[in-house]
Amino acid sequence: MTLNEMADAHTAFVRDLRLNLHEMSQPLTVLLCTLEFGADLTTVAEMRTTMISALTECERLRSIVNLLREQLPDVRDTKTQTPMPR
């Protein structure tokens, strides 16, 4: 791989990382607002609806995190040469 190809790959990775981090901000904001709203609820039905919404946003976040993990290259610990967790 040439130096230019490496630079292009790095630029593409950073661009994708920024995009995915931006994608994470929306469900985090919705989750925060949902939980703040839920703190003021009094009926079980209202609380259940709010919890389902919060869980949906958590699933969105988890899928984005999994996508980011898949994009990361395999990295090994320099001392033990064991794969580092993603």
Q: Is residue 66 part of a domain?
A: yes
Supply the pTM of this predicted model.
0.65
Q: Is residue 82 part of a domain?
A: no
**Residue 72: CA count within 13 A, CB half-sphere:** 14
Domain count, the chain: 1
Identify the residue with better confidence: 69 or 84. 69
Q: Is residue 36 part of a domain?
A: yes
The string of DSSP codes covering 6-63 is HHHHHHHHHHHHHHHHHHHHHHHHHHHHHHHHHTT--SHHHHHHHHHHHHHHHHHHHH
- Lookup: tokens for 83: 């794969």
Identify the residue with better confidence: 77 or 2. 2
What's the pLDDT tens digit per position in 2-55?
999 888 888 888 888 888 888 888 889 989 999 898 889 999 999 999 999 999
Q: Is residue 26 part of a domain?
A: yes
Measured over the CA atoms of residue 34, residue 36, residue 39 and residue 42, the dihedral's sign is negative
* Structural domain range at position 50: 3-71
